[in-house]
């Protein structure tokens, strides 16, 4: 498919779960970061077409990482992941330019529907 996706989550099992869903859907160019600080650096070097990023992470949370990615590349496509009850953080992310959000726990079809919107 030729589209690069970056997964950002401090939980390795969440990255693995999303990676498996994406791979089954035909997306094979996937890079991973464990926290927001890593995500910002990796965004600059890897230039992914889409970022799927958790909001709550150590070192640098997803909101701050989103802010920095948007400052670096205003046209970046960043989808935020949040747990139920984090509505304020989701709204903050949308105001900063997040393209979409997915609520955990998520279903495979929700991930694939969201990703396919960016790669039509």
pLDDT per position as a tens digit, 94-107: 999 999 999 888 88
Let me know: does 7 contact 55? Beta carbons within 8 Å.
Answer: no
Architecture category of domain 4-118 in CATH:
3-Layer(aba) Sandwich (3.40)
Whole-number Cα distances in Å, 52 to 34, 70, 79: 12, 14, 5
Each residue's pLDDT tens digit, 109-120: 889 999 999 987
Ranges of residues in the chain with a pLDDT under 70 are 1
Model pTM score:
0.94
Domain ranges of the chain: 4-118
């Amino acid at each position: 498919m030729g589209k690069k996706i970056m997964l950002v989550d401090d939980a390795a099992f969440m990255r693995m779960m999303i990676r498996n869903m994406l791979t089954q859907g035909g997306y094979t160019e996937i890079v991973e970061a464990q926290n927001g600080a890593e995500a910002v650096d990796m965004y600059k070097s890897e230039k992914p077409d889409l970022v799927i990023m958790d909001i709550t992470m150590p070192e640098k949370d997803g909101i701050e990482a989103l802010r920095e990615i948007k400052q670096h590349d205003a046209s970046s496509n960043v989808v935020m992941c949040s747990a139920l009850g984090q509505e304020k953080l989701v709204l903050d992310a949308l105001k900063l330019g997040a393209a979409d959000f997915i609520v955990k726990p998520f279903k495979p079809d929700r991930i694939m529907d969201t990703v396919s919107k960016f790669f039509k």
